[in-house]
Amino acid sequence: MKRIIMLFILLLMGCGNMNNNILSYGAFVKSDGIEFKLHAPKSDAVKLVIFDKPEDNDGKEFPMSKLSNGDWEYFLKDVGYGTLYGYRLEGPANDPNIIIADPYSKAAVTQNSWRYVAKSLVVNTDFDWGNDTWKEIDPRDLIIYEMHLRDMTVHPTSGSNAPGTYLGLVEPNQKGGINHLKEMGVNAVQILPLQDFANVEIPYQDSTIYLYNDWNQYARNHWGYMTTFFFAPESYYASDGNMTPNNWIGKDGKAINELKQMVKSLHSEGIAVIMDVVYNHVSNYDYHPLKYIDRETYFRLDDSGDYIAQSGCGNDTKSEDPATRKLILESVKYWMQEYHIDGFRFDLGYLIDEETRKQTLADLKEINPNVIILAEPWGGGYDPDGFSDIGWASFNDKIRNGVKGQNPSDNLGFIFGEWSDNNNQETLQKFAMGSLRKFGGQYSNVAHSVNYLESHDDHTFGDFVRIGSEQVGEHSVIQDRIANAQVNGLQLAMNKLGAMFLLTSQGITFMHQGQEWARSKVIAETDVPDAKIGQIDHNSYNKDDETNWLNWEEKEMNSELVDFYKRMIKLRKDNPEFRHSNPDDFDFFDVGGQVALAYLLQDKFIVTMNGEIDKELTVELPKGNWELIESTNLVENDLIISKSLTISPTSGIILKRNN
């Protein structure tokens, strides 16, 4: 009933603009002016500052009134949409020389500089959603494609007329973007951070700056895990976005409607949208509003008053504080209702306190019972069990490491014919069944296991195979990038075998952009003096287009692997046995001491996978006739097998009962 009521409200409103019911603070447009509200309980005075243009250093100031709960408010008459504003705060926790933007900004106008100077923009967020709403997908049916919005269309081979943008992603008649998603058959995308973030970092090796940057030659943050504004979309991806030094972007708030159009277009193709969100820390070097309002309230500090950085990124937030918790909860609800976001992937979810995590799920389910919640189960600790206990899904690094290994140089897994760490045949069986606790796994429900082999972090799956199979040295300089990108022989076999394991395992399926053609990330030659140019990159957060973008010619070059992924995705979608089976539905075959897995599923399918590099696997089949429906080797799919099956090294075969 709640679901029906919510849909009815959305349809009545048309625009879906419900943020005034969600947000406690920010700028609220009325018929005769704007009401401004800010939470700053430790401040002695707060002034609203109104600017004429983004470049202004000062503006007209209005003293705000303080309420008993620490809120400040001011009603400014005869102004409306298009107003630029900020706040000047005075008090023991404040610096009155710095005018900060509103932490509840729905749109921000920002400068392309490492200080990321910003003004808040009052915008009309109305949008014609039509009958669009959230997608209803059982978590076990999810096939998630993780992507960086810019990477998907910015390479010239994508054919996009608006490369690197929200609208470019959903532009028809291109090789990349939404056309590729539809072609692959995925039903959800997880997009790297879209909340307004600090793109520019401290200039490299500049001794005039208080903090000496000797770690990031590119002085950039491409991935976006440095959030500045938790309610505003990133303007770099808007049609008027740019990275011209010291330019001001977001002047017209175009990102708002363009992001909404992107979501609406993806929904129209049956694709859910999951936002990658970062609430565990904030951007490091900018004038982040929360730092200048009250560090003690919003951040975890040590005894010396310095930021605690279990995130490894600095400025860890104090989610357990009521004010911080309120901001997080209102932010996710805002994105769900205002932008029709279907779910969230929480970066370093373990750094968010358990009570906030519980409340997040409860509040979001009140809005959308089918909300998708995923977490990185680490951040100063590791607790996938704890996430599962409260109903959150989390990324299953056990299956990732068991199938491919943890380190391509010295810790290899199943597809290499080896047992990584403490893995064995029983752990392979556990992975196939959904990593349930009853069998030594981490999850109380298979819908909590996000099965993956590759994400934006670490080596791509393709590069892991290149290095692990010793086709490429981990620190070798790639002389021919095209030849390096092409996969065949053993590399192709390992990629296919990993894909078969992933797409036949119970749980949520997750893959990263370009995984379907064994994408290789090689550090490109640019004007940046990087000593590792030409080497494979396992951490490209700070590189821009040339290293990170997707070259769609590589997809065509590795079409055999792409086609295999397509077929496996279709097989999974067409046959609920690969998504909705229980442990009792599995009958595992005896494969001796081999690095292999073979099982009968619901007396209907036989899945066999041989990880051995140089040894065949033979299994005796149950009575009946069995049709070959998929194989990692290129064979016709009409072979009828009745007694036994021999599986070549580094290969897999799937049979279906034919009687």
Residue of 282, 302, 279 lying closest to 351 (CA atoms):
279
Residue 87, phi then psi, degrees to nearest 5: -135, 140
Rounded distance, CA 100 to CA 402, Å? 48
319 in helix, strand or coil? coil
**CA 541, chain centre distance (Å):** 13
**What per-residue confidence (pLDDT) applies to 641?**
79
Residue pair 629/654 in contact by the 8 Å Cβ criterion: yes
Query: pTM higher than 0.85 for the full model?
Result: yes
Residue 495, phi then psi, degrees to nearest 5: -60, -45
Cβ neighbours for 346, distance < 8 A, ≥ 6 positions apart: 277, 279, 280, 352, 357, 373, 374, 375, 376
Residue pair 594/610 in contact by the 8 Å Cβ criterion: yes
Classify burial at 467, counting beta carbons within 10 Å of its beta carbon; exposed 0-12, middle 13-18, buried 19 or more.
buried
Residue of 276, 270, 548, 567 lying closest to 395 (CA atoms):
276
The CA distances from residue 430 to 201, 303, 496, 654, in Å, are 43, 44, 21, 19
Rounded distance, CA 402 to CA 420, Å? 6
One-letter amino acid of 506? Q
Residue pair 349/379 in contact by the 8 Å Cβ criterion: yes
The CA distances from residue 226 to 93, 189, 241, 509, 625, in Å, are 23, 21, 18, 27, 57
Classify burial at 395, counting beta carbons within 10 Å of its beta carbon; exposed 0-12, middle 13-18, buried 19 or more.
buried
343 in helix, strand or coil? strand
What is the strand order of the sheet 33-39 is part of?
A: 26-30, 33-39, 71-77, 65-66
The structure tokens listed for 133 are 């709403």
Rounded distance, CA 412 to CA 293, Å? 48
Identify the DSSP state of 122.
Answer: -
Residue pair 314/308 in contact by the 8 Å Cβ criterion: no
Residues of the chain with pLDDT under 50: 1-5, 7-19
Helices 559-574 and 177-184, interaxial angle, to 10°?
60
Residue 340, phi then psi, degrees to nearest 5: 60, 35
The structure tokens listed for 377 are 């189960």
Rounded distance, CA 311 to CA 319, Å? 13
Classify burial at 498, counting beta carbons within 10 Å of its beta carbon; exposed 0-12, middle 13-18, buried 19 or more.
buried
344 in helix, strand or coil? strand
**What per-residue confidence (pLDDT) applies to 637?**
59
Q: Please state which CATH number belongs to domain 583-657.
A: 2.60.40.1180
Residue 86, phi then psi, degrees to nearest 5: -160, -170
Rounded distance, CA 287 to CA 520, Å? 36
**What per-residue confidence (pLDDT) applies to 8?**
46
Angle at 393 between CA 373 and CA 343, to 5 degrees: 15
Q: Determine if residue 304 is left, alpha or beta; phi over 0 gives left, psi from -120 to 50 gives alpha, anything else beta.
A: alpha
Rounded distance, CA 79 to CA 544, Å? 39
* Positive or negative: CA dihedral 434, 438, 442, 445: positive
CATH 2.60.40.10 fits domain 2-121: yes
72 in helix, strand or coil? strand
Rounded distance, CA 219 to CA 94, Å? 28
Beta bridge pairs of residue 522: 536
**What per-residue confidence (pLDDT) applies to 9?**
44
The structure tokens listed for 302 are 């040590």
Same fold, 2-121 and 583-657: yes
**What per-residue confidence (pLDDT) applies to 381?**
84
C-alpha radius of gyration, the chain, whole number? 26
Query: Could you state, in order of their start, the residue ranges of all structural domains in the chain?
Result: 2-121, 583-657
